[in-house]
Structure 1
């Protein structure tokens, strides 16, 4: 079974995340895409994050109608701050028959050489890259690497930051969110 791991804070998960994940599940050789909800990214301020389980609940609600998309809380039980290499090692031990690949945006590939043990990740896992808003191809030291696949996924100009800011300003963000997620956020008064 080939699993694509889509890491993120998903604060909140939005239709752009679903479009990208579904595209990989349908148009690559991945069987499933797991949304790995990250408790705390070492490069982001923690204060703007909703509680881990609230974000996981939103991912659960967003993916429950899609058989190939799954929420994943694996990083909640790992020491923080966590690094992707630790998650991959843990998942490989827990699911030895699965092949795990990373899904990342082109912009993340540019800084991939700064990731902890990035060489080990590349040695043992494939990376699936989706384009970001810039129409220009982002040049990196990984261009042409046999383990890195660029997938021509739809370009999404939607961000969780935009949604949070719009909610603070009282704007209607309902079309940007899966229905079950919007209902939960509205009920819980998130980001207001």
Structure 2
């Protein structure tokens, strides 16, 4: 099975994440998307980042009606700090029957050359790129690499930061979140302080 790994803090997961994940699994050769919840880096200030397991639970709520999209806590079990190359090696070793690819926004493609062992990632894994509002992708050398697949996906301009800030400002952002995610956030008064 070909699995696309969509990494993120998902703080919180929103409909933009689901639109991208669903588009990738329906309009590419990927069989499943695993939403890999990135754990809190203990060296960074927490600020508004929900607990790892709260964010994982929100991803569970958001994806339960999407059989091809699964939550993953794989990085919770790995040494910190997490490097994508290490996560990929762990998954490839544990799930030898699967072929793992990365999903990332084109903004991440611009900095891929700065990632730890990015050459190893490119050698062994396909990377599916979804568009962001940015003209600079035209100038990237990596965009023509055989392992890079730029997917014609909808451009989604919703951010978790925008959602958190507007919850704090008491704005109605309910349409931007899956129903159960909104209910859980609202019930627990998340992001209000």
Deviation at 1:8, TM superposition (A): 0.2
CA 107–138 in structure 1, closer or farther in 2 if over 3 Å, else same: farther
CA separation of 1:43/1:34 partners in 2, compared to 1, >3 Å: closer, same or farther? farther
Count of matched residue positions in the alignment of Structure 1 and Structure 2: 192
Which residue is equivalent to 2:35?
Answer: 35
Match of 1:125 in 2: 125
Instruction: Please report how far the alpha carbon of residue 91 of structure 1 lies from its aligned counterpart in structure 2 after TM superposition.
Output: 0.4
RMSD of the alignment, in Å? 1.5
CA distance in 2, matches of 1:69, 1:57: 14
Q: Closer, same or farther in 2 for the Cα pair 1:54/1:167, shift >3 Å?
A: same
- Give the equivalent residue in structure 2 for 1:176: 176
TM score, norm. by length of structure 2? 0.95
* 2:61 is the counterpart of 1:61: yes
What is the Cα deviation at residue 117 of structure 1? 0.5
Distance 1:50-1:76 versus aligned 2 partners, 3 A rule: same
Unaligned runs of 5+ in 2: none
Once residues 141 and 42 of structure 2 are traced to their aligned partners in structure 1, the CA distance between those partners, rounded to angstroms, is: 23
3-state SS in 2 of match to 1:4? strand
Instruction: Measure how far apart 1:140 and its partner are.
Output: 1.9
**Taking structure 1 as the reference length, what is the TM-score of the superposition?**
0.96
